[in-house]
Structure formats: C-alpha cells, structure tokens
Amino acid sequence: MSGPVHGKDRPARSAPGKLAACPERSERRPSPVDGTLGIAVCMGTGCRAARSEEVLSALSSAAGTRARVWGTGCRGLCERGPLVSLPASGTLYCGVLPEHAAAVAQAAANGAPPIEKLLYFDPRTRRSVPREADIPFYAGQTRLVLAMNGRIDPTSIDDYIALGGYADLARTLATRTPEQVVLEVERARLRGRGGAGFPTATKWRACARQPRFPKYVIANCDEGDPGAYMDRSIVEGNPHLVLEGMAIGAFAIGACEGTFYVREEYPLALGAIQTAIEAARARGFLGKGILGSSFDFDLSVFRGSGAFVCGEETAMIASIEGRPGEPVDRPPYPVERGLFGQPTVINNVETWANVPVLLARGAEEFARIGTERSGGTKVFSLVGKVKNTGLVEVAMGTSLRTIVEDLGGGVSGRKRKLKAVQTGGPSGGVIPEHLLDIPVDYETLQSAGSIMGSGGFVVMDDRTCMVDIARYFIEFLRDESCGKCVPCREGLRRLFDLVDLVTRGEAKPGDLERIEALCETIAGGSLCGLGKTAPNPVLSTLRHFRAEWEAHVSGRFCPAGVCRALARYEIVPELCPGCARCKPKCPVGAVRGERKEVHSIDPDLCTGCGACFDACNLDAIRILSRANGKP
C-alpha cells in the first residue's frame, strides 16, 4: 500500500531498513526517572497554588548533588498538595512545605524510613499509607494516559524517550501502512474523548479517503468547562505523548501539517507544548523526512482567546483561519472540507494521547480495559463537594459511585450527604445519588439525561439547590453563546430569565411547563452542539428533582436554603449549646447571643446567605420559608 500523502503525489514509504533506529524500551539507556536517587515534585496547577514551586526550589538546594530533583505534571491528588514522591521506593508525601525539604532530601539520599507526618493518612483505616500505589485514590485507577504524569519532567524529551516515547511512531513508520494504523484504532474501539464519543477510526478513515490535498490535523485544547482541567493537565504533564499521537494520526490520514489549538489562559500548557515541539523537531520526530522516512509532518501552535464556543470544531476552524469563532452548519464535515477548505481531522488532546498508548499495548488489550462499545480509559476531573478533588483515570464503564465515593472519598463535610453529580460540564446533566451505580459510558449517561462531555464531574451535597445550579449553567452558556442563531441566542436569554424568576420566588403557575417547552425549542433549533445541549442542566434537574422546582414555585421555598430571596434561618433553642461557632460567620451581625447562651437570628437582618448554617455542626439551625416562616 502507498504511504502518506505530501502535496499532490503519493511517494512510496522508505524501506524499513532505511529508517533511523529507535531503540526498544529494553534497549534504552538508564534514566533518572527510574533511578534510585530522585525526588519528583508535582508542579500541577493545584500544587503550584499550594507553593510547590517553593518546595521544588528548597528541595533542589537541600539535595545538592545527592539526588536529582525535578518537577512533574499533575499527579491527580490535588486536595493533598504539594505532592512529592520518591520514585525508588514509591513513597508519596502530601502537604510538603519548604521547611520539610531538608528532611525529605536526607531521607531520599540515605534510604531512611518514610517521614510519618508527611504520609497520606487514610481516614477510613485511620492509618498512614507510605506507598503511592497503596493509596485508595490511586489503587482504584487504571492509568494509561496519565501513566507518566508524576514520573517524567515534561520539559525533558529524554525522560519521555527513556520510558518508551516515540517508539511507536518509529515502529509505525517502519512497519505499518496508514490503513493498518486505522484498523488498530478501530479494533481498540477508541472513541473521541471530547464529548460526543464519535468513533475515532471512522473519522480518520473518512478523511484518509478524501482525494484532495493537503490534509490537516488539529489538537483541540480549548477545554473551557467550569471545573474541567483534563486536557491541559495531560499537556502540562506529558506533551510528547500528544505530539506522538498527532504524528501517528497524521501518517494514517496523509496529513503533513497540524495545529495545536490551546487557550491563551493556559500558560503552563502553552509553554509545555511549545517546548515539546521545539525538542521533537530538533530530534527528528517532527519536520521533513521523520526518522529517515518519506513522511513529513510539522506542527504550529494557535492561541485561542477563550471563547467557549470555539471548542466546537467548525468554530475552531473559523478561529484559526482568522474569522469570528462561529459554527457553521454541517455537512460538509471537517473531514471533507475543514481548515482552509481542506480535509481535516480534529481530536481533543486526550484522544490524541491515547493513540501511542493503544499501539504500545495492542488493540485487543486496550479494548478489553473498557466496554463493548468504548475501549480504554477516561480521565475525569473531580471538583465540588468531594474530599479528594483532583484528576482520576478509570476504565470506561466504571460506576459513577466508584469514582465519587471510592476514589473521591465521598462528600466533604461531616454531616453532609451526597445529593447529585453534574457530568459533562455546563451542557451536561445532573445525575441523582440513587442512580450513581450506573456505568460511566456515553450511552448510559445519555439515557440518564446527561452526557460524558470532556469529563468534568461536579459533586453536590444536600446543601446544593438544583434550581440554582441550573441557573448558574444557563447563565454561563448564555454568556458564551456566539449569538449566530436565534434559538440559542434569544432562547438562552429567555430561559435564564424564567429560571431566575423561579430562584427569586416570582415564577407563576405554568412556568415550569413553559421552561420545558422552551428547552425543546432551543435544543431542536440551534445550529451547533452548544445550543443543542444547553438545556440539559434544566431538563435533567426537572426530571430528577422536580419536587424541588415545585417548592420554589408553589411554596416560595428553597429546600437547600441557597436562594436568598426564598430562605431565612432560625436557631432551634433546645439544640443550641451556645458554642458561638455561627456568630462570627454572619457577615451582617444577625446572630445574637453570648457564649454558653442560646443564640438567635434577627430575621430583619438575615440575608439568607447560609454562613451560619454551614458553620453549625450540631444541626441547631434550620431553614425556613421566607414567605410563610415554615420549615
């Protein structure tokens, strides 16, 4: 079979013997990432916010020449950062501060026992866990895409090569035809990780069959969902994995140019990918005649301005071309007429990162990890009212409850209960607690009224108002709509107004039915995926929590006590010990009473913010309807 296309002709691939050697994993030189003297510091965004840059500097000074100290990408357990690991022993330290540097460096250099106070403390067993692999958060994961995060320095191409990086690109150019690559991706059952879950091989094959050249590939790193940070964490932690996947994909479809589309708001990801492209080009993994073959492929970086709608592929193409980031109707699809009118494949960062992984493991093994229709794993971000906020990677088909309770540790707060999980970002839906045993896959989530989306999970407890959540996401989508089509532009404005009336206790009988009808109009008439899925937060909360909506409308009452116009608070005298925990939390001084005396709340001053309710751990404060004063 002929090789990849460059220009108008199809040059024959170089013979395997002419390709530059790319040693197998067993032949590679020893690397510091596998050495006995090493200290790895998480430099993900969460750990950076907790001073990991200072920790890295302090450890480098303390270790001197005794151990290599390097920064890694996000290790996932953001709640316990800054995280520091000793690769030789598998030890993970949590909450490391600069003042701990000397002790950590000394222990690493001397092989001393782990420092007890810095180990992960498991609240369920009441014991410290020295080894990272034994921490429940990690033990329950299947890390394929994130396997090197936390091990390699993302700025070092040598670290990536030492752990097998670019071997599958070399093997592909030497031994595989483009169609064989597509067949492997098809047998692995890889689906797009950006939201819709479209079969990756189907998209690639459709583009490969187009007779027009040149062809392009694009990496979508425009992840803009509130609470989602999977793609940028992959890029920040292992940019070469994405580059290798793009090069292999370009070979499969006959493309010679690619664009990495990344948000300007992601400076760490932007810096990581630019550094990686320069290093890959210098080593011959990008550019002309890659590894001595006839395959030419190079990449450029495009900085997006942060418009949420540019995550939609046709809007992204318009943005790269210098036009307003607005979607266009399809067909034709980008695989037929994409960037500059040429055949184009767009996949998100996580999809590209899966390509070298599935080729290295083999399609059958990769497919066995997932479900019958979706092979492999999925990376999710866990945020909200959950103990272990962070980044997780699990096999497709893992239950939502396993992710939230086993890996996430359950709901944060001693007396709070799990109420629901928002999946799929602002255009996703809310899954109630009693449905959390469903497997996480594209079809099951859709049947429950939600979507997979890019993989953001927002955990909600019983202090979350479902109407207020729907209002928040509709407001976000209203502001992010490009305004091109009327159903989305005007529909979301009107939908927000109606939902806002509900939260303020001003809705009228029949408004819920009007809201549902408007949702159908928006979904049915909108041009792109933003508008078509925008009603999901409203429809899913109405489906699973209709009683809560009705309480707002007919009872003028917010059961969660979140909607300030509808709720006020009252202290139950017989339950109040006078501990005074609530008094200093009130921003307007509505709580009255001295320590060891029964407190009270002035209803005329109370704004309904709920700060006192959150502070009380004795259930001595209850929520009342502002309309009639009843619980």
Query: pLDDT tens across 239-248, in order?
Result: 999 999 999 9
Predicted confidence (pLDDT) at residue 629 exceeds the cutoff of 70: no
Residue range(s) of every CATH 3.40.30.10 domain in the chain: 34-139
Residue range(s) of every CATH 3.30.70.20 domain in the chain: 567-625
> pLDDT tens across 258-301, in order?
999 999 999 999 999 999 999 999 999 999 999 999 999 999 99
Could you tell me the two tokens for 193? 């990780």
Q: What is the mean pLDDT of residues 204-214?
A: 97
What type of residue sits at position 398?
T
Predicted confidence (pLDDT) at residue 253 exceeds the cutoff of 70: yes
pLDDT of residue 610: 82
Q: What is the mean pLDDT of residues 192-216?
A: 94
Handedness of CA 484, 486, 488, 490 (dihedral sign): positive
pLDDT of residue 630: 66
Distance from C-alpha of 563 to C-alpha of 459, rounded to nearest angstrom: 19
Q: What is the mean pLDDT of residues 322-331?
A: 93
CA distances from 233 to 226, 266, 276, 331 (A): 15, 10, 15, 33
Could you tell me the two tokens for 325? 């980031």
pLDDT of residue 29: 37
Residue range 467-554 forms a domain whose CATH class is mainly alpha
Reported residue count of the chain is 631
Q: Give domain 157-367's CATH number out of 1.10.3720.10, 3.40.30.10, 3.50.50.60, 3.40.50.11540.
A: 3.40.50.11540
Mean pLDDT of the chain: 91
Could you tell me the two tokens for 379? 């990376």
Residue range(s) of every CATH 3.10.20.600 domain in the chain: 377-464
Q: Count Cβ atoms within 10 A of the Cβ of residue 475 and give its class: 0-12 exposed, 13-18 middle, 19 or more buried.
A: middle
Q: What is the mean pLDDT of residues 438-452?
A: 91
Contacts of 229 (CB under 8 A, 6+ apart): 45, 74, 223, 381, 391
Superfamily in which the 34-139 domain is placed by CATH: Glutaredoxin (3.40.30.10)
Predicted confidence (pLDDT) at residue 14 exceeds the cutoff of 60: no
Q: What is the mean pLDDT of residues 209-215?
A: 96
Could you tell me the two tokens for 201? 């091989």
pLDDT of residue 628: 61
Distance from C-alpha of 336 to C-alpha of 358, rounded to nearest angstrom: 26
Cis peptide before 114 (omega within 30 of 0): no
Q: Measured in whole angstroms, how far is the alpha carbon of residue 353 from the centre of its chain?
A: 14
Cβ pair 324, 484 in contact under 8 A:
no
pLDDT of residue 214: 97
Cβ pair 407, 388 in contact under 8 A:
yes
Could you tell me the two tokens for 394? 């699990």
Cβ pair 448, 431 in contact under 8 A:
yes
Distance from C-alpha of 344 to C-alpha of 335, rounded to nearest angstrom: 5
Residue range(s) of every CATH 1.20.1440.230 domain in the chain: 467-554
Residue range(s) of every CATH 3.40.50.11540 domain in the chain: 157-367
User: How are beta strands 127-129 and 91-93 bridged, if at all?
Assistant: unpaired
Residue range 377-464 forms a domain whose CATH class is alpha beta
pLDDT of residue 514: 97
Q: What is the mean pLDDT of residues 564-586?
A: 90
> pLDDT tens across 462-518, in order?
989 999 999 999 999 999 999 999 999 999 999 999 999 999 999 999 999 999 999
Distance from C-alpha of 259 to C-alpha of 254, rounded to nearest angstrom: 15
Least confident among 68-72, 327-331, 455-459, 567-571: 567-571
pLDDT of residue 333: 96
The model's confidence at residue 27, banded by pLDDT at 50, 70 and 90, is: very low
The model's confidence at residue 22, banded by pLDDT at 50, 70 and 90, is: very low
Strand blocks (E) in 413-566: 418-423, 429-432, 456-461
Could you tell me the two tokens for 297? 């492929």
Distance from C-alpha of 171 to C-alpha of 4, rounded to nearest angstrom: 15
35 compared with 571, residue with greater pLDDT: 571
Cβ pair 405, 123 in contact under 8 A:
no
DSSP state of 87: T
pLDDT of residue 627: 65
Predicted confidence (pLDDT) at residue 11 exceeds the cutoff of 60: no
Phi/psi for 347 (5° steps) reads -130, 155
Distance from C-alpha of 383 to C-alpha of 387, rounded to nearest angstrom: 9
> pLDDT tens across 611-628, in order?
898 888 888 998 887 666
pLDDT of residue 525: 94
> pLDDT tens across 100-151, in order?
999 999 988 888 889 999 999 998 899 999 999 999 999 999 999 999 998 9
Could you tell me the two tokens for 188? 């692995």
Q: Around Cβ 210, how many Cβ atoms within 10 Å?
A: 18
The model's confidence at residue 553, banded by pLDDT at 50, 70 and 90, is: very high
Phi/psi for 426 (5° steps) reads -60, -25
pLDDT of residue 195: 75
- CATH domain 567-625 topology: Alpha-Beta Plaits (3.30.70)
The model's confidence at residue 33, banded by pLDDT at 50, 70 and 90, is: low
